[in-house]
Amino acid sequence: MQSYLQAVSSFDVNLIGWSLVIACSILWGASKAGIKGVATIAVPIMAYVFGGKPSTGIVLPMLIIADVMAVIYYNRHAQWKVLIKILPWTMIGVVLGVWAGDKMNEEAFKNVMAVLIVISIGIMFWWERRKSAAVPDFWWFAAAMGIAAGFTTMIGNLAGAIVTIYLLTMHMPKDQFIGTGAWFFMIINVFKVPMHVMFWGTITWQTLSVNLLMIPAIAIGFFLGVRIVGRLKDDFYRKFVLVMTALAALVLLIR
């Protein structure tokens, strides 16, 4: 216990900083329960508290904890046919992100991605208004979305909006949408762990001490998220996710 407390206290974070980390943990729990978009603001907050690249190694295990909760709760609703199409491409994107991680301007990257997300959501809103919107069943669509998601999730844990847009195009019911996304992110986030440990050195016993400390906050956020999602009808939930994802992208753009 003493060594654990020493590991946590070794971070140069004040009370306000820890309060922000707890708030971010609650947001990630709620997001994994299905309240998509609300946790995007947590990415720049964690970067502010711990630093840009170091924060990615602290955030990743917290996301995995929330992913496990989501997979346990929504497991039976996952659509593996959809996952198989995009997962291999996403893994390629993760590897590209590892290679580019030390070479690119993170701020410019986030701004470009925010613009692309806003454009993509604009297309989605237009698509929703069409009387007959066909599901894009092209290999290149899954490839492009998968590589973009893998690249962005490795650089800054920012793939949520891209994957949300991809899954929304599949026109799945609410529970299938959340369950499929839960499995997708758990698989990809676990795949990223060795990259953070071996290549970037951003996951250590010290950072894991913070993750253990935040488990109750993540669980609270997940419980609240499940309660809120349970009250939303499928059609309203779909529009809600689009709006929240658009707002999250705008926050990244103007922060």
pLDDT tens column, 186-200: 999 999 999 889 888
Whole-model pTM: value is 0.81
Separation of alpha carbons 243 and 93, rounded Å: 26
Residue 89 has a pLDDT of 95
Q: What is the pLDDT of residues 52-107, one digit of tens each?
A: 778 889 999 999 999 999 999 998 888 999 999 999 999 999 998 888 766 666 66
Burial of 41 (0-12, 13-18, 19+ CB in 10 A): middle
Q: What is the pLDDT of residue 193?
A: 94
Q: Where are the domains of the chain?
A: 2-254
Angle between helix 205-213 and helix 215-230 axes, rounded to 10 deg: 50
Q: List b or e across 197-223, with b for residues whose CB sees 16 or more CB atoms inside 10 angstroms.
A: eeebebbeeebebbbebbeebbbebbb
The confidence band for 3, taking pLDDT boundaries of 50, 70 and 90, is low
Q: What CA–CA distance (Å, rounded) separates 233 from 217?
A: 27
Residue 91: predicted pLDDT: 95
* Percent of the chain clearing pLDDT 90 (strictly above): 35
- Cα 99 to Cα 154: distance, rounded to the nearest angstrom: 10
Distance of alpha carbon 212 from its chain centroid, rounded? 19
Q: What are 203-225's pLDDT values in tens digits? A: 998 899 999 999 999 999 999 99
Backbone phi and psi for residue 103, each to the nearest 5 degrees, phi listed first: -115, -20
- The three-class DSSP label of residue 184 is helix
